[in-house]
Chain A
Amino acid sequence: EPEVTQTPSHQVTQMGQEVILRCVPISNHLYFYWYRQILGQKVEFLVSFYNNEISEKSEIFDDQFSVERPDGSNFTLKIRSTKLEDSAMYFCASTQRGILRETQYFGPGTRLLVL
């Protein structure tokens, strides 16, 4: 069964550095999402993406964040200048049609630690 994949599984970075988290959605899916989960807190929506554009973003998704689909398979989340509070688990998800009530398929996550 096809799965969403994410790389790296873990990343440690220094405060102020740029990081790029990578996701490969399921191949026939068209809608992509990033969520994050700070340790001990709930999973929070960051951004949704369709047709090379952001569909919706949360208050968390400020100017330090950006998303891109650089080629036909990858979907990336860039944090321009990391802060300590960006330390979290980042999940990518995808759906086929992006319609209401459609199941989102999640990747295994990237654990980001900012020192």
Chain B
Amino acid sequence: AQRVTQPEKLLSVFKGAPVELKCNYSYSGSPELFWYVQYSRQRLQLLLRHISRESIKGFTADLNKGETSFHLKKPFAQEEDSAMYYCALDNTGKLIFGQGTTLQVKP
């Protein structure tokens, strides 16, 4: 069955520290993966997608098919990165989401 797992509910780091938000998936096919972010009281918005391979707001994510992972990374966290982060898999047009990880960046 298609599934997305984000093992951490909460990740708390200090400003300037590296961040890695974990995402593992289960999918029988060629996956298309996304990271969505939800800042406080705002809508879900796309942060980045696997296929574009770009860096947004300093975040990157690499698809590792061997480990079935799509971890989100940033070398130096900023306070404004504090938000809820969702990993999602595109399954024929519908998105399958992970549980989400709250990132808290402390000053």
Binding site for B on A (CB under 8 A): 3-4, 31, 33, 35, 41-45, 48, 55-56, 58, 91, 95, 98-109
Contacts and interface: CB of A to CB of B under 8 A. Distances in A.
Given A43-B86, A106-B45, A100 B99 contact: no
Interface string B10-36: 000000000000000000000010101
Given A45-B96, A56-B92, A108-B42, 19 more contacts: A31-B93, A33-B94, A33-B95, A43-B95, A45-B95, A48-B93, A48-B94, A56-B93, A56-B94, A58-B94, A95-B93, A98-B93, A100-B93, A101-B49, A102-B93, A103-B46, A106-B36, A107-B43, A108-B43
Contacts of A56: 92-94
B62 interface: no
B81 interface: no
A49 to B, nearest CB: 11
A55 B93 contact: yes
A48 B44 CA distance: 18
Nearest to B33: A101
B51 A101 contact: yes
19 contacts: A31-B93, A35-B95, A42-B98, A43-B44, A43-B97, A43-B100, A45-B95, A48-B94, A56-B93, A58-B94, A91-B43, A100-B32, A100-B90, A100-B93, A102-B93, A104-B95, A106-B44, A107-B43, A108-B43
Contacts of A31: 93
A43 B94 CA distance: 11
A102 B49 CA distance: 10
Nearest to B43: A108
Interface in B72-107: 86, 88, 90, 92-100
Given A100-B32, A101-B32, A101-B90, A91 B98 contact: no
Give 7 nearest A-B pairs by CB, closest first: A106-B44, A43-B97, A45-B94, A108-B43, A101-B32, A42-B99, A42-B97
